[in-house]
C-alpha cells in the first residue's frame, strides 16, 4: 500500500522548517514498511487522484497573495477531500487560507478556500515564541509560533486545543488552531510533527483507514528521541 502526500505550494509556503513535517510522515511510514509518494503541488498543476494526506506550510503575505487565485481554483476539490475524511495538516499561512479570508495589515483581503470555518485579520504586532497547548485528542502539543494574524473560529469548527503557554490563535480567547473532521490547522511551526509523534501517527492512521475502509492498528515505534525533543521544547520559556 502506498500513501500519497499532497504538499501544497512548497516553494511559496515553506517557512520555519515546515517541510520537516512531510519528512516526519515519510519516515514514520517507511519505518513501518509503508510506501510513500510525495507530490509537490504548485500553481496551475493538476491534483492527482487518490491523494491520502494534504499538507501545507507557512508563508509571508506576498506568498499568500501569489497562491490566492490558484487555491480558490482547487478549493472545491480540497474541500471535497476533507469532507470525505482525508487527513490534513495546514500550518500558519495555509491554515489562514483554508479559512474564509485573511485580511492583511494594509487592508487587503486575501480570499481563502473556505474549507475551515475561520477568519483571520492581521494584528498590530507579531506573536512569537514557544507554545504549549492541551489539544483535544492528542494530549500536550509543543511548537513555535511566529505570526501577526489573529484567527477567530466560527461555530462549524472547534479549536485544535487550549493554550497552556503562548498566544495561539489570537492571544485573547485561549484557543490554538482548528480541528474539523480529520483536518488540523495550527500556527505551530518547529516543525510540529517530529516533536509530536501522536499527531503524525493520527494522520497516517486516518489515511490508511480511509484508503482501506478498515480499522488500522499501527506498529509501535521507539519514540525515545521524539519524546526527548518534545520534553526539551516544552521546557523552553516563551
3-class secondary structure, 136: coil
Helix axis angle, 197-212 relative to 19-30, nearest 10°?
60
Distance in angstroms (rounded) separating the CA atoms of residues 90 and 160: 12
| Residues forming the active site | 92, 189
Is the separation of the CB atoms in 175 and 127 below 8 Å?
no
Across-strand partners of 163?
133
The sign one gets for the Cα dihedral 79, 85, 87, 90 is: positive
Angle among Cα 92, 197, 10 to the nearest 5 degrees reads: 35
Query: Phi/psi at 148 (nearest 5 deg)?
Result: -105, -10
Amino acid at each position: 500500500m502506498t500513501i500519497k502526500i499532497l504538499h501544497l505550494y512548497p516553494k511559496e509556503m515553506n517557512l520555519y522548517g515546515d517541510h520537516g513535517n512531510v519528512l516526519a510522515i515519510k519516515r514514520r511510514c517507511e519505518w513501518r514498511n509503508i510506501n510513500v509518494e510525495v507530490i509537490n503541488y504548485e500553481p496551475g498543476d493538476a491534483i492527482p487522484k487518490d491523494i491520502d494526506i494534504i499538507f501545507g506550510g507557512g508563508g509571508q503575505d506576498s506568498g499568500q497573495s501569489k497562491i490566492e487565485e490558484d487555491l480558490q481554483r482547487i478549493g472545491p476539490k480540497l474541500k471535497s477531500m476533507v469532507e470525505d475524511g482525508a487527513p490534513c495538516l495546514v500550518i500558519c499561512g495555509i491554515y489562514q487560507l483554508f479559512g474564509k479570508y485573511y485580511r492583511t495589515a494594509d487592508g487587503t483581503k486575501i480570499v481563502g478556500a473556505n474549507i475551515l470555518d475561520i477568519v483571520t485579520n492581521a494584528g498590530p504586532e507579531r506573536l512569537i515564541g514557544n507554545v504549549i497547548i492541551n489539544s483535544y485528542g492528542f494530549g500536550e502539543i509543543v511548537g513555535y509560533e511566529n505570526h501577526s494574524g489573529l484567527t477567530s473560529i466560527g461555530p462549524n469548527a472547534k479549536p485544535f486545543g487550549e493554550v497552556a503557554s503562548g498566544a495561539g490563535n489570537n492571544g485573547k480567547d485561549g484557543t490554538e488552531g482548528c480541528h474539523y473532521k480529520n483536518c488540523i490547522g495550527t500556527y505551530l511551526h518547529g516543525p510540529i510533527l517530529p516533536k509530536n509523534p501522536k499527531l503524525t501517527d493520527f494522520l497516517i492512521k486516518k489515511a490508511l483507514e480511509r484508503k482501506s475502509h478498515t480499522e488500522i492498528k499501527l506498529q509501535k515505534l521507539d519514540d525515545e528521541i521524539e519524546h526527548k525533543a518534545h520534553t526539551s521544547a516544552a521546557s523552553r520559556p516563551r
